[in-house]
A and B are shown apart, each in its own frame.
Chain A
């Protein structure tokens, strides 16, 4: 398996030192991403999705700190590299697109300049060649009149256009892994589906590996091969997309899937997950999902479950599956 993995995150922990003490917004996250596949990280606001992505990029900033785990990219541990080596990897091997397209572009430079800059930085080409490649990239992301957009400033473009430009910048050095942090959340449905189409064709035609962060199961169903569900800083379920949608195992995943209204079905009353996401400063003693869980067992209140394999390639962190699984309680 390991040779096929482009990226493997093992037991990643990110710590924040706040006024009220230490918190672990990312607490033992493990998952892997196969070469040429799309892995989606799904979870609600604040569950640590962005921090996981930023850790992979090496962009965790001051109050935050990676305190444990490994991030293996093509077999080498990124956390052991020097600052300079990591910097060199960014853009070239790893690239990221962000949620807010408008604010991730620098307003004082033209879009074209920003794309060409990243090409010039990492590749040995001259200005003219860089411009040519930039325009090609813009066309690749479906921008009509790419030459004109090349000379525009970000404020004169719509959110969708800016997001395309961001994708163009991310693709400029042909990275092996593209991380997309909620690339469509800020956009309208019609634009969202256009951007998803671009990502889809990148994944299918160019065989790009994509780590897609989202909270929309529709986007997951459309894009992902593997799915990682996160709750309060932990991975609660991992599976390939088909078995996840066919048979979600974790009560949280089941709740999420049932509580989103869908165009294809009619339900009288949505099955909501009651309660709210726990505060990181005040996490429950047992399973983090216990206070909201409808299927909770007595054991859930006091002890945290471990990851259990319930089917081939389908793992879940829930006490409900301890009986079924072959593994003993490992305490």
Chain B
């Protein structure tokens, strides 16, 4: 680790980020339709924290992660990482900067090249960015394998010979190889078995402590988010609707959507099963190509008024560390 930043330094800031996918149909009379996958997202991730993004499928979590990783170009916005605006960097500088930012993917079965051996998979970032001798390289790879709990005897195996959890460890080792400052985890445990999920979560948390890592953690399982995060942002149809420190968010939700999400998680206690739910989420996500005007959640909100249908609420602070985008926070 080079300079140890204090926990309050902002490592990553995203300003006014937008991504509209062009989903126009037809070749000739082109009617332009855009899918607002990420719409005006602002966030600040502090050094050393775990910043979680939760939301239902299709709300734009992965798109946001991919934009931050520079894997897709945003339509508009700024990404400031380590005080540098990434979008103004030249291709070469960007490639170098990438070493500080890594990603762990959701699907452990498609995120590893089936034709590469474990050793080469973990060595790839080192070969790309560092000029190591053969011995240094294999030392580092074995060290990484040790860190994530993989036996060094596995080095020459192919990915298909590993279980899902082991593959996820390989993915984590690859992400750690260059001592990054930020790791984006896109649903790293959703594809894993229950008993393996805890292993991977514990591993991620240990690594964070040890190497002062910053995580952006994407998930749709709220219990997992509650366990691992410091700050949580809730996304709905490309927008952040509520953002707060974990404790504040889980003790009180101001946005009806967040409330609904939390109360729809089944409670692991059979004696509480008939507890009435305060807010039930009804209906389904509207079509993202034609998002509803006003507050995007109004079609499913039981508190919606005329104002919600016409006027879009801005994200505003309720307390110092809790913001919500709702006209009538509850």
Contact = CB atoms under 8 A, between A and B. Distances in A.
Interface string A219-256: 11111100000000000000001100100000000011
Nearest to B285: A158
B268 A260 contact: yes
A32 to B, nearest CB: 19
A216 B193 CA distance: 10
A266 B56 CA distance: 23
Select the residue from A45, A241, A256 with max chain B CB neighbours within 10 A. A45
Interface in B86-136: none
Contacts of A44: 193-195
A75 interface: no
Interface stretch (A10-18, A92-100, A268-276, A319-327): A268-276
Contacts of B280: 193
Given A215-B194, A270-B202, A272-B198, A242 B270 contact: yes
B15 interface: no
B271 A242 contact: yes
Given A219-B266, A270-B201, A276-B166, A261 B223 contact: yes
Contact of B165 (A219, A223, A257, A276): A276
Contact of B266 (A188, A196, A242, A257): A196
B5 interface: no
Given A263-B226, A270-B227, A215 B267 contact: no
A218 B268 contact: yes
A259 B198 contact: yes
Interface stretch (B42-50, B64-72, B257-265): B257-265
B197 interface: yes
A183 interface: no
Given A160-B284, A215-B194, A271-B198, A188 B267 contact: no
The bracket for how many chain A residues form the interface is: 35 or more
Contacts of A270: 198, 201-202, 227
A216 B264 CA distance: 14
A307 interface: no
B199 interface: yes
B266 A222 contact: yes
Nearest to B226: A263
Contact of A261 (B227, B269, B284): B227
Given A261-B201, A270-B198, A277-B193, A245 B268 contact: yes
Contacts of A216: 194, 266
Given A266-B226, A277-B163, 9 more contacts: A189-B56, A192-B264, A215-B193, A241-B270, A260-B194, A261-B201, A263-B250, A267-B227, A276-B165
Interface of B: 56-57, 163, 165-166, 193-199, 201-202, 205, 220-224, 226-227, 250, 260-262, 264-273, 277, 280-285
12 contacts: A190-B261, A190-B264, A192-B264, A194-B281, A218-B266, A221-B266, A260-B198, A260-B223, A272-B199, A272-B202, A273-B195, A277-B193
